[in-house]
Homo-oligomer: A and B are copies of this chain.
Amino acid sequence: MVCLQRKDRGPAHRRLRTRYQEDRRHLRKHVPLRSVQSVAKPSFPDASSEQVSSALRAAEKAFSVYRQLPGERRARFLEAIADGLERDAEKIIELANSETSLGLPRLQVELQRTAEQGRLFAELARTGAWLEPRSDEAEPERKPLPKPGLRSHNIPLGPVVVMGACNFPLAISVVGTDTMSALAVGCTVVVKAHHGHPATCEKLSTLIHEAAKETDMPDGAFSLLHGESHRVGRELVQNPSTKAVAFTGSLKGGKALATVAANRPEPIPFYAEMGSLNPLFVLPGALRERSEEIATGYVAAVTLSAGQMCTKPGMLVTIEGPSLERFLKQSVLVTRESSPVAMLNAGIRDNFEANVERFTKSAKLIAASEQAPNSSANEASCQLFVTDASDFLGDPNLQTEAFGPSSIIVRVKDEKALLKLANSLEGTLTASLHVGEGDCAIVDKLLPILESKAGRVLWNGFPPGVVPTHATHHGGPWPATTDSRHTSIGIFGYRRFVRPICRQGFPSP
């Protein structure tokens, strides 16, 4: 049985840690933070303060025209962007892969999804469903006071600043939901390129500018700025023309910019999608019935895209019992067999290694990919840890997302301890339940807790793979996001960028 020893975590753990420590020492000595290859790449200097102001002045000027265009015109603009994505797919994917190492198959799926998502938002612009009109008839004879006729609908907020994610260079970057939903409802957009894939951002920006020209959009409706320095992000948020910000990134970055947004003379909505633990709860019946299947699915979810998914399951909670050994055995087996995977860049790989190193204080490493990672290719191995509830709750490091292919299995004594642990969790994008026969009673108690912590709850599923549709929700309570009322993926993403206006007593339209 793979068990947890608190004082000495055993020879396997020591061997594994030693190998990683050697790897890391080698890596620090021989691999610069930016790989040698990147020196030859074109450089993208940070936007100056004047460039930031100028982009937002243009966005504000364009807004007064762009917001008043017929929905059909904006729909054609978005469709031209989606068409451009597909037309230039090969070039875009190649570029994105060279900057992110995410791999061609994954990027092909992402590009297709991004184009489809763009067309969904084009349809939104065309139908005007985002206007959400509602009305009350006038009642001139009403007592004690006559009632005026009222008609409300949504209007766009104004220029929106978008700061995309490192891990989705297409779907959550320059042409992602943030940009497309804002453009659909008549907001103009200034994107800060992600410094992890600046050339991809440039290529996508060119594509949007071409689409804008082709469909005769006003100058300034869209623009891209580069800004690795925090100054650029801060100035974009502070600029008085900015009326909302959509950000995807770290908790630290999100918190810092949220404070900037809240402290403006005119505070503005700041939507950040940040870190998340995405716990899986494997209940006793499920563990009894499908321990191997769940273990295999779990490790696959942890390693998908090198664990660089907002919804990677960073922890799995399960109750001690006779089926647990089978589950752990299979998890260890699959993890050992998993190939090391290239992470987005050396900095992210180093961060990941530092984070999992911190885990070892209160958790035991039970498995890692057997094959050694290629450090110079920024590879990392999948790493699986085990701990118990009290060690987990006692160590804030374990409760912090490690962006990469690792996860922590938390063994709890009984149902009561499981519910206590669930209650102690912070906000998260997703939580997943694995349910089998006899688990109904726990589900009845656990589900309301998980729904109070998460934006999306999965039943017998694994979180990666959010679907950009009507009913999805990619959000969650703090610190998963800054605003649990909104989603950053799916059609309703547009609600972040509109507000209602009410017309009272107006003549019939």
Give the chain B neighbours of A362 by CB distance below 8 A.
Answer: none
CB distance from A197 to the nearest CB of B (A): 22
Say whether A227 faces chain B, with CB atoms less than 8 Å apart: no
Give the chain B neighbours of A158 by CB distance below 8 A.
Answer: 452
- Contact yes or no, B150 A457, CB < 8 A: no
Say whether A448 faces chain B, with CB atoms less than 8 Å apart: yes
Give the chain B neighbours of A471 by CB distance below 8 A.
Answer: 134-136, 150-152, 502
Q: How many copies does the complex hold?
A: 2
Query: Which residue, A258, A456, A482, A485, has most C-beta atoms of chain B within 10 A?
Result: A485
- Contact yes or no, A502 B472, CB < 8 A: yes
With A262-B258, A478-B267 as contacts: A456 and B504 at CB distance below 8 Å: yes
Name which of A217-225, A295-303, A341-349, A493-501 contacts chain B.
A493-501
CB distance from A257 to the nearest CB of B (A): 12
Give the chain B neighbours of A250 by CB distance below 8 A.
Answer: none
Give the chain B neighbours of A136 by CB distance below 8 A.
Answer: 467, 469-472
Say whether A460 faces chain B, with CB atoms less than 8 Å apart: yes
Say whether A363 faces chain B, with CB atoms less than 8 Å apart: no
Give the chain B neighbours of A396 by CB distance below 8 A.
Answer: none
- Contact yes or no, B459 A506, CB < 8 A: yes
A67-92: contact bitstring with B at CB < 8 Å (1 yes, 0 no)? 01000000000000000000000000
Once bound together, how far apart are the Cα atoms of A262 and B269, in whole Å? 12
CB distance from A107 to the nearest CB of B (A): 12
Residues of chain A having any CB pair with chain B under 8 Å: 64, 68, 109, 112, 134-136, 144-145, 147-148, 150-152, 155, 157-158, 258-259, 262-263, 266-267, 269, 427, 448, 451-452, 454-461, 465, 467, 469-473, 475, 477-479, 482-485, 487, 492, 495, 498-507
- Contact yes or no, B150 A469, CB < 8 A: yes
- Closest B residue to A156 using CB positions: B452
Give the chain B neighbours of A262 by CB distance below 8 A.
Answer: 258-259, 262
- Contact yes or no, B144 A455, CB < 8 A: no
Give the chain B neighbours of A451 by CB distance below 8 A.
Answer: 155, 501
- Contact yes or no, A150 B472, CB < 8 A: yes
Known A155-B452, A459-B506, A485-B498; further 17 A-B contacts with Cβ < 8 A: A136-B470, A145-B465, A150-B469, A151-B471, A155-B451, A266-B477, A455-B501, A456-B504, A457-B503, A457-B506, A459-B507, A460-B505, A471-B502, A472-B502, A477-B499, A484-B499, A492-B500
Once bound together, how far apart are the Cα atoms of A461 and B504, in whole Å? 8
Contacts A/B (CB < 8 Å), 26 sampled: A135-B470, A136-B470, A136-B471, A147-B467, A150-B469, A157-B484, A259-B263, A266-B477, A267-B478, A269-B485, A455-B499, A455-B501, A456-B501, A456-B503, A457-B502, A457-B503, A457-B506, A459-B506, A461-B504, A461-B505, A471-B502, A472-B504, A473-B500, A477-B499, A485-B500, A487-B500
Our pick among B148, B266, B455, B465 for the contact of A502 (Cβ within 8 Å) is B455
